[in-house]
């Protein structure tokens, strides 16, 4: 499991890698927040649950990241640890 940063048209892109879809989503979420803050310094003191729905994996990925960004703004928090469960 890991993540990397990619050049994407002058913006920062992310790529999450994992043995499962869930771990790839988790790594991508870490990458997204690592662009904003040093996530190694973010202690996971509080947990929240989010839920997303989509007809395909690609759209689900976008919905997942968008919901994390929304919660970051709503709760004025950043996140460093992610537990992802994907149901068919």
Distances from the Cα of 52 to the Cα of 6, 40, 43, 76, angstroms: 25, 26, 24, 20
Q: Mind listing the pLDDT tens digit for each residue in 6-16?
A: 666 666 666 67
Predicted local confidence at residue 9, as pLDDT: 66
Beta bridge pairs of residue 2: 17
Q: Mind listing the pLDDT tens digit for each residue in 35-65?
A: 889 999 999 899 999 999 999 999 999 999 9
Q: Give the percent of the chain with pLDDT over 90.
A: 69
């Amino acid at each position: 499991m890991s993540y990397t940063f990619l050049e994407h048209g002058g913006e920062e892109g992310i790529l999450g890698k994992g043995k499962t879809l869930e771990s790839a989503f988790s790594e991508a979420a870490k990458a997204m927040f690592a662009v904003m803050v040093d996530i190694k310094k973010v202690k996971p003191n509080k947990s929240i649950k989010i839920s997303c729905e989509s007809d395909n994996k690609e759209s689900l990925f976008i919905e997942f990241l968008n919901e994390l960004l929304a919660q970051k703004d709503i709760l004025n928090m950043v996140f460093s640890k992610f537990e992802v469960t994907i149901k068919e």
